[in-house]
Amino acid sequence: MGQRAQRKRLAKEQRQLEQKKQNKLELPRSEPKILKPAPTTPQTPEQRQAQANADPRAIVNHLQGKTVVTFLMEDFDCCAEKLIMEYVNLFQAENYGILMVPKQNYTDILKYLSNYVVLFRTGYKSGEPKFINELVQYLKHIKSLGIRIVYYMDDLLFFSNNKAPLSLMAVCDTVIVSNPTLREVLVNKLRIPIPVVIVPTHMSLQNFDGAPVMKDAFSNRFKVLMTSGGRIGANDIYEMCELANEDEDFAKSISWIFNCSGVAEIRSLVNKFRNLDKYYVDWVSLSAYYGLAKSVDLIIHPARPADLAYVCPEENRQDWLDSKCEVKYTLAGAARIPIISAPTRSYKEAIKEGENGFLANSPTEFITKIKMLRDDSGLCKRIGENARRDVEQRYEVSKRYPLYRDSIIGALPKSIPSFLNRFVHTKKTLFIPPIEGGPRTFYENMKNTLPQVSNFTWEVVENIEKATAAVAIAFVLGDYILNEKERRPEMKILYRLDGLPTNYQGELDPANLEVMQRIFPKADKLIWQSQHCKNMWISRNLIPGGVDPTGIVIHNGVNLGVFSADGANYGLPSSTKYNFLHLNWSTFPHKRLDLLQEIIKSYENNPDVRFYLLGNYVSTNQIANMTFWKDFPNAIYIGVMKNQTVEAKRILASLFRASTALIFTSEMEGSPNTCLEALGCGCPIIYNDAVDIVPEILGSNCLPISQMDSIFNDEMRGDMKKAMLQIAPRYSIEKCVEKYLEVL
């Protein structure tokens, strides 16, 4: 390389270095950074650095008489800018002093008389075990002095390989996360023994609207922004660019803007596509990030588990993707532009297809929807305005602040929007009758999951006398619940309805029906276990006059940690090519055991088919079990599940995984646990043609008994299983409990 070329290269590198310095505020090494209310216009890097280098004595004077919240920082980046600095004005308005301290200066916690300490992603980087041990001991000391310690954790939990965050969380009073997936991982998989509070992501519209637009930075084409803190989206982006490069007209109409911390890697992937108009923007400050969003026409958020192969074990990749909150949706909404996102959990919950954004399952679908938006400016405007209204109503930082503050200080909020009530720390109790059978599964699920999903603000109790609310289940303990309602009218009753009260002859039981009809007018909320169940009651005109039957449909939930496609298969005795499972826990006529016998008999000459029966198979005349299947050589009775322990359910899950399909013959079920458990395991379901409860749950991904022969098609069965596993998360216990919390 010649001297002139070398000088040009060095000059270019120097300019890039200076640009990075302007876009990133380095955390001071020796002294903490005190955060004062931000001016209406964003601070310059020089102003922020001057603030960081403030005299310690000035800091002490400024904090005097204030409640001090100290954030112990892993590093200062745009996440810290957003999750701390955007809350500063709100904290200051209530006489809080906010201090940011580098983690190596942890002794400043006492030096500046902190009242509360937030470990902000501290320790997620690998290594430093000696330092972490020292920090843990120091935190134990300050906790003994009455200082409350909170850990703020985001998706970088999955990046950690030294367990440092977990050892630090063990010392804390509370963990704050931004979405349900992180909470589920911490509580259900990592067994964190302290409350995990969800504080959803936010948007400071004042800061966003004040950020400068990047004028004249890009061409006049339709500008598509892909932004990522790492390599997420790289695989889809490559395929999208490959498709766009082959379509000359499309390529000429689009500018692709890539903004990520790994932008050099994105450049190396897509630079070969010479037909594309491409821009590469390195990771920038939060203000510049907002300005970038205001300068484009569309934001895309591609993501697939394979993107994380370089840093995360395969079993954790989907959790990592789902733990990412919908920041880019709020970014697009604030900018009044559309977003197209991969269907990760937070984005699926935030985006209403065609109303405030779009979801795309493949690079081809991304390209199709980009073309659609490019060609329809009216659609872009409508989607963008809808998203902006949603961000204003649900994500504005001032609406998140009460929960954020109270999660840190451990107090009840003074005022909080109703849609955040389920995240607030209060103590309430829910009475559920602990009876056997299907309702027992509901009881166990609620008892084990309600405290965690409600951030330990609710718990299930067996004594109704002081309960905040009670769940009435059919006629069970109906008078007991009604008497308590009369004594304490403020106690809320949720009336959970499934099938009809019948006797062993299949007739309506008048005594039980009378109890149920007395509960209807006293209930604060009707909860139908399915639309099928609701239709049964309405069509038979069994709901008392004057009662609004609308209510809400909440299907039962299933423990997807137990009932999943992952795990061992049960060793079925004498198994063959096609092994069908039937489960039955009672002998009511509506279970249609006669139909089961017809099915078994119809395949008795097919050596490739065998039926396995689990449960109670006595006839309505209470004939001994053996008489039920003795004439069917192709049926094998496995036994009865005598308890509902987790161990027993794991065995049941292994049976589902080992079976070709579940045979479901019942013609009257509210929300059958058996079908939901099979769904979680990806076990196809063949159902009674006379009922619609199974299609209500699975749509077209199930078969009526009249079409049972179709299950022998391996391709169809494989497609059905794949679709079921995609549907299953909708029916998780956590989803079910969240819906109950919305009506409590």
For 488-539, write each residue's pLDDT tens digit.
999 999 999 887 887 766 678 888 888 889 999 999 999 999 898 899 889 8
3-state DSSP call for residue 640? coil
User: For residues 562 and 649, is the Cβ–Cβ distance under 8 A?
Assistant: yes
pLDDT interval class at 667 (50, 70, 90)? confident
Find which of 471-480, 571-580, 707-716 is predicted with most confidence, using mean pLDDT: 707-716
Which of 138-152, 298-312, 637-651, 663-677 has the least mean pLDDT? Answer: 637-651
Parse the chain into domains and list their residue ranges: 15-205, 207-394, 426-554, 578-736
101-133 pLDDT per residue, tens: 888 888 878 777 788 999 888 876 655 677 888
Q: Max Cα separation, the chain?
A: 101
User: For residues 299 and 331, is the Cβ–Cβ distance under 8 A?
Assistant: yes
Find which of 236-245, 416-425, 446-455 is predicted with most confidence, using mean pLDDT: 236-245
Question: How far is the C-alpha of 703 from the C-alpha of 25, rounded, in Å?
Answer: 60
CATH architecture of 207-394: 3-Layer(aba) Sandwich (3.40)
3-state DSSP call for residue 3? helix
Nearest to 697 by CA among 531, 586, 473: 531
List helix spans (H) across 24-171: 45-52, 56-63, 78-83, 88-93, 108-111, 129-144, 164-169
187-201 pLDDT per residue, tens: 888 888 888 888 999
Which residue has better confidence, 475 or 419? Answer: 475
Q: What residues are paired with 527 via a beta bridge?
A: 496, 552
pLDDT, average across residues 47-68: 57
pLDDT interval class at 98 (50, 70, 90)? confident
Overall fold of domain 15-205: Rossmann fold (3.40.50)
pLDDT interval class at 419 (50, 70, 90)? very low
User: For residues 720 and 686, is the Cβ–Cβ distance under 8 A?
Assistant: no
pLDDT, average across residues 574-587: 85
Q: Mean of the per-residue pLDDT values for the chain? A: 81
How distant is the alpha carbon of residue 506 from its chain centre?
A: 41
pLDDT, average across residues 357-362: 94
pLDDT interval class at 27 (50, 70, 90)? very low
What token pair was written down for 346?
């937070």
| Residue 72: predicted pLDDT | 87
| Phi, psi at 516, each rounded to 5° | -65, -40
Which residue has better confidence, 1 or 598? Answer: 598
Domain spanning 578-736: which CATH class is it, in words? Answer: alpha beta
pTM greater than the 0.85 cutoff: no
What token pair was written down for 20?
């990075």
Question: How far is the C-alpha of 624 from the C-alpha of 622, rounded, in Å?
Answer: 6
How distant is the alpha carbon of residue 550 from its chain centre?
A: 28
Question: How far is the C-alpha of 288 from the C-alpha of 210, rounded, in Å?
Answer: 11
What token pair was written down for 529?
């276990």
pLDDT, average across residues 224-253: 89
Pairing of strands 609-615, 578-584: parallel
| Residue 723: predicted pLDDT | 92
| Phi, psi at 149, each rounded to 5° | -120, 130
Q: CA quadruple 685, 691, 696, 701: dihedral positive or negative? A: positive
pLDDT, average across residues 130-147: 86
Question: How far is the C-alpha of 300 from the C-alpha of 370, rounded, in Å?
Answer: 9
Question: How far is the C-alpha of 629 from the C-alpha of 203, rounded, in Å?
Answer: 63
| Residue 425: predicted pLDDT | 40
Q: Which amino acid is at 705?
A: I
What token pair was written down for 724?
């079921």
Whose structure tokens read 């989206």? 233
| Residue 569: predicted pLDDT | 87
Nearest to 490 by CA among 472, 474, 471, 467: 467
Which residue spans within 345-384 are E strands per DSSP? 358-359
> 625 CB contacts (<8 Å, ≥6 apart)?
616, 617, 618, 637
| Phi, psi at 228, each rounded to 5° | -155, 145
Which of 162-176, 191-205, 623-637 has the least mean pLDDT? Answer: 623-637
pLDDT, average across residues 574-596: 84
| Phi, psi at 154, each rounded to 5° | -120, -160
3-state DSSP call for residue 128? coil
Question: How far is the C-alpha of 392 from the C-alpha of 395, rounded, in Å?
Answer: 6
Q: Do domains 15-205 and 578-736 have the same CATH topology?
A: yes
Nearest to 161 by CA among 121, 125, 122, 119: 125
User: For residues 122 and 160, is the Cβ–Cβ distance under 8 A?
Assistant: no
> Is the pLDDT assigned to residue 52 strictly greater than 90?
no
Which residue has better confidence, 360 or 26? Answer: 360
Q: CA quadruple 310, 313, 318, 322: dihedral positive or negative? A: negative
pLDDT interval class at 313 (50, 70, 90)? confident
| Residue 247: predicted pLDDT | 92
> Is the pLDDT assigned to residue 389 strictly greater than 70?
yes
Whose structure tokens read 């109503």? 393
Q: How many residues does the chain have?
A: 744
User: For residues 541 and 547, is the Cβ–Cβ distance under 8 A?
Assistant: no
Q: Which secondary structure element, helix H or strand E, spans residue 40, and what is its range? A: none
User: For residues 633 and 655, is the Cβ–Cβ distance under 8 A?
Assistant: no
Query: What are the CA-CA distances from residue 45 to residues 21, 25, 285, 288, 314 (Å)?
Result: 8, 7, 10, 12, 40
Overall fold of domain 426-554: Rossmann fold (3.40.50)
| Residue 333: predicted pLDDT | 95
3-state DSSP call for residue 60? helix
> Is the pLDDT assigned to residue 620 strictly greater than 50?
no
Question: How far is the C-alpha of 69 from the C-alpha of 680, rounded, in Å?
Answer: 44
Q: Which secondary structure element, helix H or strand E, spans residue 332, and what is its range? A: helix 327-334
| Residue 185: predicted pLDDT | 85
The DSSP letter of residue 87 is: G
Which of 8-17, 269-278, 440-449 has the least mean pLDDT? Answer: 8-17
pLDDT cut 90: percent of the chain above it: 33
List helix spans (H) across 112-233: 129-144, 164-169, 180-184, 205-210
Q: Dihedral angle at the C-alpha atoms of 372, 378, 379, 382, nearest 10 degrees?
A: 160
